Amino acid sequence: MASTIVVRGYNVMNSMTRIPTEQLPLPIVPSTMTRAAKLERWAHILRDLGANATVATLYQIEKVEGDAKLAIEVAGSALAVAAADPMLLAAGLKGGTVGDATAFFEITEGEVHDITCCCGNGEVKMDASVAAALVRGLIQYEAMAKRSGGAQEWGGIVLPV
């Protein structure tokens, strides 16, 4: 008897059956994406905006506290780009606010600040490729910390994993 694989409501009988991609419900996303996979997807879509693409920065978010900070949302920002991606939405991203990003990507408000704020990235806009590199840096830091077995020292400051 042939094995049956269910792909979002479609029954696929054995591996030789072909279903045209336009007939599949897209996006097909693993039910749970790892933190690294979420960040990698975010970096990928930012990079794929193109060589000269820019994203809006968030203005001085370090000066905003509590729930007001979590509610910050800026059209055209790196957060808005993530919130427009069907794959990230299907994986559970709720929207383009700071709070949505911290919850979904499992990052801190400080990390959102480092990636999106105007203070280090440009007063109004920044290159999308720079935002992608900053997101990818979070993945690389996590991988480095796992390889070394714990906290990392950076500039004399011990950073926990």
Q: Look at strands 10-13 and 4-7 and give their pairing.
A: antiparallel
Buried b (16+ CB within 10 A) or exposed e, 23-48: eeeeeebeeebeeeebbbbbbebbbe
- For residue 60, the SS3 value is coil
Q: Residue 146: its pLDDT value, please?
A: 67
What was the pLDDT predicted at 153? 53
Confirm whether 141 is domain-assigned.
yes
The pLDDT tens digits of the residues spanning 26-80 come to 555 556 889 999 999 999 999 999 889 999 999 989 999 999 999 999 999 999 9
Q: Is the pLDDT of residue 3 over 90?
A: no
103 CB contacts (<8 Å, ≥6 apart)?
94
Asked if residue 83 lies in contact with residue 93, where contact means CB atoms within 8 angstroms, the answer is yes
- Residue bearing tokens 């193109």: 50
What percent of the chain clears pLDDT 90, i.e. is strictly above it? Answer: 55
- Confidence category of residue 160, pLDDT binned at 50, 70, 90: low
Residue 20 lies in a domain: no
How many structural domains are present in the chain? Answer: 1
pTM (2 d.p.): 0.73
What element of type H or E holds 28?
A: none
Asked, for residue 158, whether it belongs to a domain, the answer is no
Instruction: Evaluate the CA torsion angle 44, 48, 50, 55 in order and state its sign.
Output: negative
Whether 15 is in a domain gets the answer: no
Q: Domain limits at 141?
A: 31-148
| φ/ψ of residue 159, rounded to 5 | -105, 120
Would you say residue 58 lies in a domain? yes
pLDDT at 29: 56
User: Has residue 134 been placed in a domain?
Assistant: yes
The answer, yes or no, to whether residue 11 has pLDDT greater than 50, is no
Q: What are the tens digits of pLDDT across the range 104-144?
A: 999 999 999 999 988 876 678 999 999 999 999 988 877 66
Place of tokens 């979904």: 104
Evaluate whether 100 touches 94 at the Cβ level (below 8 Å).
yes
Q: Is residue 74 part of a domain?
A: yes
How do residues 120-130 score in pLDDT, each as one tens digit?
766 789 999 99
DSSP bridge partners of 126: 55
